[in-house]
Amino acid sequence: MLPVPVVVFRRHKVLQALPQRHCTLGRNNARLLQGIAVACLIEARRLGRIDTTGQTTLLAPTDFALQAGERVVIVGASGSGKSLFLRTLALLDPPDSGEVLWMGIPVTAPRIPAYRADVCYLAQRPTMVDSTVRDNLALPFSLKSLRPRQFDPQVAISLLEQAGK
């Protein structure tokens, strides 16, 4: 099994050392995790993707919930849709069905830039600029949606320490 990309939710203590939940993702999964939590950090309801050219189901309608402080490991065979699910959850790829809720509020089109400011998708093979780690961490703050904010190296160091790095 290949390592799965990661979606990181900033400004919340998601990187605590808590027990992990494991779930398997396959093309026929109607439900990824059972028991949607009441106070979710992020929730996906019937999130699905379809290949519009061939009308092939890429991601069967999937429910998912993550509470602050919780870590979830998504496992599945190569090509089962792990990366597609995470890209859709991060709203980098538009869902064809379902919705994503961020702290209980549906992420509608006008809210996507603010949502993306709080969510970071880390791919299996991330694209990095040919420079320092600091420059790579500061790069998102040059994007239009994050310009009002400034990169704070001390916050980055604190988050790395919380993650045990």
Instruction: Answer positive or negative: Cα dihedral of 69, 7, 159, 2.
Output: positive
Backbone torsions φ then ψ of 93, nearest 5 degrees: -115, 130
Domain boundaries, the chain: 6-125, 128-165
What average pLDDT does this structure show over 97-125? 89
Neighbours of 107 (CB within 10 A): 18
At 26, the pLDDT band (50, 70, 90 cuts) reads very low
CB-CB contact of 115 with 107 (8 Å):
yes
At 92, the pLDDT band (50, 70, 90 cuts) reads very high
pLDDT at 50 over 50: yes
**Domain 6-125 classification at class level:** alpha beta
**From 33-47, 74-88, 93-107, the region with the lowest mean pLDDT:** 33-47
pLDDT tens-digit map of 122-145: 887 777 888 888 888 888 788 776
β 56-66/42-51 pair status: antiparallel
